[in-house]
Amino acid sequence: MNIILASGSPRRRKLLTNAKLELNIMSVDIDETPDDNESPKEYIQRMIAAKADAAIVQLKTDYQNKVFESSQSATSVIILTADTIGVLPDGHTVLVKPADRAHAYHMWQQMSDSTHQVWTAVQATLVSFTDKGKELYDRSLKAVWQKQIIESTDVTFVPLTQDMMRDYWDSGEPTDKAGGYAIQGLAAAWVTRINGSYTNVVGLPLAQTLALIEEATKAYENNHKQI
């Protein structure tokens, strides 16, 4: 079964490859600006659905020959998309990737000496090819099954000083991380405790994602029997 991880995150890729999954990687580019009055749940659900839609379009055009170069007879593929955010205790303030130093400091000050949540939404989309000709480029694509999951983990920070925030920003680590920190990196020293999935804070709830892939695989088997 072909699996495409539609994410440029090296952390998500490492988690899945460590679980002995063979993946094809596809980076997709979408507008990640939150809509006005959009809840955190609505936001991440919209993000992973939009990423899946973009991946399907890209699969048909730029990537399909590369992805299936070793298996031109493939009839289906699982597309995995994910999005991770931090959420403050108010339940609606979203912590995303920092735009700059000032943005990072603002988020960290809100997380200092308190507990926030890290949410990751994951979507598995089973896409099947419909034959129109002998070549792959003559096939159309159809999403025949999809499911979303959301995992939440509580993370408690120590009180953060200006020196701690300055040194961490200068390390370069925060720039592409939701909430501006990496629990698996230097920011581990900021975390006093977590309640929930550790890998979720890294960027992908691994056990839950593997179960989702298993569901998608069973959906493929059931769909294949009906053909």
Domain count for the chain: 1
For residue 189 the two structure tokens come to 């020293």
204 pLDDT more than 60: yes
Q: Measure the CA–CA gap between 111 and 94, rounded to whole angstroms.
A: 12
- Confidence band, pLDDT 50/70/90 cuts, at residue 8: confident
Question: Do 5 and 24 meet the contact criterion of CB atoms below 8 Å apart?
Answer: yes
Q: How far apart are the first and last CA of the chain?
A: 17
Which residue among the candidates 31, 35, 36, 83 is catalytic per the annotation? 83
| Residue-range definition of the domain harbouring residue 187 | 2-226
**CATH number for 154:** 3.90.950.10
Strand ranges in the chain using DSSP code E only, listed in sequence order: 2-5, 24-25, 76-87, 94-95, 115-130, 140-157, 191-195
Nearest to 194 by CA among 157, 168, 150, 160: 157
The chain-wide mean pLDDT, for the chain, equals 88
- Of residues 32 and 185, more confidently modeled: 185
Element (H, E) at 205: none
For residue 71, give every residue at least 6 positions away whose Cβ sits within 8 Å of its Cβ, in sequence order, or none.
2
pLDDT of residue 47: 96
Tokens for 46, please give them: 């919209």
Q: How far apart are CA 51 and CA 32, in angstroms?
A: 10
Nearest alpha-carbon partner for 79 in 38, 120, 123: 123
For 130-179, how does the pLDDT look when each residue is reduced to its tens digit (9 = 90+)?
655 545 445 577 888 999 999 999 999 999 999 999 999 999 999 989 89
Percent of the chain having pLDDT more than 70?
88
Under DSSP, is residue 20 helix (H, G, I), strand (E, B) or coil?
coil
Query: What is the predicted pLDDT for the residue at 225?
Result: 65
Tell me: pLDDT of 224 over 90. no
- Residue 63 has a pLDDT of 47
pLDDT exceeds 70 at position 71: no
Q: Answer yes or no: are the C-beta atoms of 95 and 165 closer than 8 Å.
A: no
Predicted TM-score (pTM) of the model is: 0.87
Is residue 170 annotated as a catalytic residue, yes or no?
Answer: no
Q: What Rg do the C-alpha atoms of the chain give, in angstroms?
A: 19
Read off the pLDDT of residues 73-122 as tens digits, 9 standing for 90 and up: 457 899 999 999 999 988 888 998 899 999 999 999 999 999 999 999 99
Q: Quote the pLDDT of residue 91.
A: 87
Confidence of residue 58 (pLDDT cuts 50, 70, 90): confident
Runs of H (alpha helix) within 112-202: 162-170, 198-202
Segment 15-37 shows an average pLDDT of 90
**Predicted pLDDT at 62:** 55
User: What integer pLDDT is reported at residue 4 of this predicted model?
Assistant: 93
The two three-digit tokens of residue 119, written as one number: 């949410």
* pLDDT value for 59: 85
